[in-house]
Amino acid sequence: MAIRLKLGSYETVRNDPVGRTHIGYFPRMTEQEAWEAGRAMWKMNADKARRQRFALIVGEGIVRAVGEITDLAEHDIGIGRRIELRGQVLPEGHPVRGAYLGQTDPVANGSQNPVGYCELSEELPFLHRPCACGCGKEGDRDFLSGHDVRAIQARVREHFAGSPLKFVQWVDQTLAATPAARQPTR
C-alpha cells in the first residue's frame, strides 16, 4: 500500500520541526515543492507508515508529487506526536511516478481525512526487499517473521560473548550517555 496525503491551502508556518517556511498547495508549485510541503507533520500510525514504500502528495484533487519513503521520524509537537516521512521524489521514468503524477487522487472516497492508504498495482514489483538479517531471502518488511530475533541473537553472540545481560547493559549505558535528541524514535 501507499500513503496518500492531501494538502490543504498554502500557508506560511513558523518553528516547523523540519524547517519548512510554508505548507499546503499553491498553483504552479513544482513536484519538489509539493513533496516538501506534504511529507511531514501528519497524525498517522507510525507502525503502519513504516510499512509503506511510496507516498502520493495530492493538491486540489490531483497527485502533485510521488515519493519513495526511506525512513520516518516522530515529532512531539505539544498536541501529540506527528510523523515526518523521509525520502525523495521518484525520478522521471519510474513506473509508479508515471502512473500517478498529474492524475486524480486515487483515494477520492469522500473522507475529510487528509491521510489515506491505497494499493497501487504499479508498486507490487517494488515491495519486496532483502531481509535485514542477511539471510538472502526477500519479504515485504524489514525482517521476515522471526528474523529480527535471529539478527539480534547473532549480534549478542558476536559482540557480547553470547550474554544477553551484557548486551542489555551496553544498550542502557549507551542510551544514558546519548543526548535525548539522538535517541531512537518509537
Residue range 134-158: mean pLDDT, rounded: 90
pLDDT digits (tens, 9 = 90+) for 89-136: 999 999 999 999 999 999 877 788 899 998 888 887 777 778 999 999
Convert the pLDDT of each residue in 13-57 to its tens digit.
Answer: 999 999 999 999 999 999 999 999 999 999 999 999 988 999 999
Cα distances (angstroms) measured from residue 34 to each of 61, 63, 110: 13, 9, 22
Any alpha helices (H) in 85-163, and if so which ranges?
A: 95-100, 147-159
Whole-Å CA distances, 168 to 15, 149, 161, 162, 179: 37, 14, 13, 12, 19
pLDDT: which is higher, 109 or 145? 145
pLDDT at 185 over 60: no
Cβ atoms within 10 Å, residue 139: 16
Q: Is residue 59 over pLDDT 90? A: yes
Cα 96 to chain center, whole Å?
16
Domain positions in the chain = 2-126, 130-180
Binned at pLDDT 50, 70 and 90, residue 181 comes out as very low
User: In this predicted model, which residue has the larger pLDDT, 124 or 76?
Assistant: 76
Give the Cα separation of 134 and 114 in Å (integer). 37
The pLDDT, as a whole number, for residue 20 is 93
Q: What is the pLDDT of residue 18?
A: 92
Average predicted confidence (pLDDT) for the chain: 90
Return the percentage of the chain with pLDDT > 90, whole number. Answer: 72
